[in-house]
Amino acid sequence: MTQLQPTPASEEALDEAARLLQAGRLVAFPTETVYGLGADATNGDAVAGIFKAKGRPDFNPLICHVPDLAAAENLGIFDETARKFAAAFWPGALTLVVQKQPDCPVAKEVSAGLQTIAIRVPDHALAQSLLRKAGCPLAAPSANRSGAVSPTMAEHVIESLGAKVDLVLDGGACEVGLESTVLSVDEYPPVLLRPGGVTLSMLRTIDKNVREANPEQPKLLKSPGMLESHYAPRLPVHMNADNPGPGEAWLAFGPAADTDGLVSLNLSPSGNAEEAASNLFAFLRTMDRPEFSAIAVASIPNDGIGQAINDRLKRATAPRSS
């Protein structure tokens, strides 16, 4: 049996990807955040295929990707607050959670039966071309098995999902490297549900009242990325480490990192958090090898996109269901 290979981006490849999506099949495609596993969001059977391929629980909603605000407004209700955030950050790494339109065409499986819907306009040329050629909103979580490290290269999709995907469009490495920020604007004040490339301080330039979700308060899963255990390699992860323990791989950060004699990678030798974010998932995959007992990760400052990095690492360290 021939192993699935990434398909280099071309007009012909985009046409084939669009044809597959229209036929209810699964296509992995690049965005500026991570690679998504796409299906026609209006086709319930196709959306169910996403959950099956990933082994994803059906109570965990998906994000709908659309090419622009006009397409988003066919799916969700955008009040003045939602429009302000869309105007500021779309296209880009921000997902907005809004109330569904009464005649929203999206399959109920996408929003896990909720009356809200999570929508994003990606800032990636291939993703935009695919959305316009397919002519439908695409439900697209990260293209990996549920709970595992997200893919930032086409090869990562193949490693994780293999033949469960009908086509993998290769757009190279993802620029941001972390999943989108998720902001709930179906209530006021807006609530940051998941940190990402659009940081809390950036959001507060649009509305100073944006608040962070209370981790102690039980909430409906209104968006992806809210499960306690997520983004995890096979090996245990130790965050905020001063040094690796015996047998541990080492993910360092910054110019002063001591890597002599260690099996290590440096997330950013210059101490740049954006560079660290773009490298995080790829480096976790590289170090996730059986000769190591765990992966130790140096401290990352918890401001700007560092908040998103630490969110992913915290979930990667959480106890995992068996």
pLDDT at 50 over 90: yes
Looking at residue 256, its pLDDT comes to: 74
What does the pLDDT average to over 125-153? 96
Higher pLDDT, 226 or 68: 68
Tens digits of residue pLDDT in 157-187: 999 999 999 999 999 999 999 999 999 999 9
- Contact yes or no for 295/284 (Cβ under 8 A): yes
CA dist 310 and 67 (Å) reads 30
pTM score above 0.75 = yes
Q: Is the dihedral of CA 235, 238, 242, 246 positive or negative?
A: negative
For residue 91, cis peptide bond before it (omega within 30 degrees of 0): yes
- Percent of the chain whose pLDDT exceeds 70: 92
- Percent of the chain whose pLDDT exceeds 90: 84
Looking at residue 220, its pLDDT comes to: 54
Instruction: Give the helix/strand (H/E) hosting 128.
Output: helix 125-134
Residue 322's pLDDT band, with cuts at 50, 70 and 90, is: very low
- Contact yes or no for 36/142 (Cβ under 8 A): yes
Across 43-73, b (16+ Cβ under 10 Å) vs e yields bbebbebbbebbebeeebbbbbbbbebebbb
Task: Count Cβ atoms below 10 Å from residue 206 Cβ, excluding itself.
Answer: 16
CA dist 90 and 142 (Å) reads 19
CATH 3.90.870.10 residue ranges for the chain: 7-212
Tens digits of residue pLDDT in 82-108: 999 999 999 999 999 999 999 999 999
What does the pLDDT average to over 17-35? 98
Looking at residue 129, its pLDDT comes to: 98
What does the pLDDT average to over 253-266? 78
Task: Count Cβ atoms below 10 Å from residue 229 Cβ, excluding itself.
Answer: 14
Q: Which region holds residue 31: left if phi is over 0, alpha if psi is between -120 and 50, else beta? A: beta
CA dist 289 and 291 (Å) reads 6
What does the pLDDT average to over 4-10? 93
Q: Is the dihedral of CA 289, 175, 124, 136 positive or negative?
A: positive
pLDDT at 1 over 50: no
pLDDT at 265 over 70: yes
Rg (CA), the chain: 19
What does the pLDDT average to over 266-277? 96
Mean pLDDT of the chain: 92
CA dist 51 and 109 (Å) reads 9
* Residue linked to tokens 């907005």: 96
- Contact yes or no for 153/8 (Cβ under 8 A): no
Closest-CA residue to 279 (of 93, 122, 150, 168): 150
Residue type, 227: L
pLDDT at 225 over 70: no
CA dist 108 and 32 (Å) reads 27
Looking at residue 232, its pLDDT comes to: 84
Superfamily of domain 7-212 in CATH is DHBP synthase (3.90.870.10)
